[in-house]
Copies of this chain bind each other. A is one copy, B any other.
Amino acid sequence: MLKVVVIGSGNVAQHLIQVFQKPGEVKLVQVFARHTEQLAGIIPPAKVTATMNNIAQADIYIISVSDNAVEEVSSQLPFANRLVVHTSGSMPMEEINQKNRRGVFYPLQTFSKDKAVNFSTVPLCLETENEEDYLVLEKLALSISGSVYKINSTQRRSLHVAAVFVSNFVNHMYAIGSDICSQNNISFEILKPLIKETAEKVNLLPPLQAQTGPAKRSDSKTIEKHLEFLNDASYRDIYNLLTKSIQETNG
Contact A162 B181 (CB under 8 A): yes
Q: A202-B195, A212-B110 are in contact. Are A183 and B158 (CB under 8 A)?
A: yes
Contact B193 A165 (CB under 8 A): no
The answer to whether the Cβ of A125 comes within 8 Å of any Cβ in the partner chain is yes
Q: A194-B163, A205-B112 are in contact. Are A67 and B219 (CB under 8 A)?
A: yes
Contact A241 B237 (CB under 8 A): yes
| Chain B: minimal CB distance from A144 (Å) | 13
Question: Which of A115, A169, A176, A245 counts the most B-chain CB atoms under 10 A from its CB?
Answer: A169
The answer to whether the Cβ of A21 comes within 8 Å of any Cβ in the partner chain is no
**Cross-chain contact of A192 among B117, B161, B202, B222 (Cβ < 8 A):** B202
The answer to whether the Cβ of A206 comes within 8 Å of any Cβ in the partner chain is yes
**Cross-chain contact of A166 among B168, B195, B215, B234 (Cβ < 8 A):** B195
Q: Which residues of B contact A188 (CB under 8 A)?
A: 202, 206
The answer to whether the Cβ of A37 comes within 8 Å of any Cβ in the partner chain is no
Taken together, the copies of this chain in the complex come to 2
**A248–B235 Cα gap in the complex (Å)?**
11
Among residues 110 to 134 in chain A, which have CB atoms less than 8 Å away from a CB atom of chain B?
110-112, 114-115, 117, 121-123, 125
**A227–B56 Cα gap in the complex (Å)?**
40
- Chain A residues with a Cβ under 8 A of chain B: 67-68, 90, 108-112, 114-115, 117, 121-123, 125, 147, 149, 151, 154-155, 157-178, 180-181, 183-186, 188, 190-199, 201-216, 219, 221-222, 225-226, 229-230, 234, 237-239, 241-242, 244-246, 248-249
Q: List 9 A-B contacts (CB under 8 A).
A: A67-B219, A112-B205, A112-B210, A114-B204, A155-B184, A155-B186, A161-B230, A168-B246, A171-B212
The 9 closest A-B pairs by CB, nearest first: A168-B213, A199-B199, A174-B207, A166-B177, A175-B207, A158-B184, A162-B177, A162-B180, A167-B198
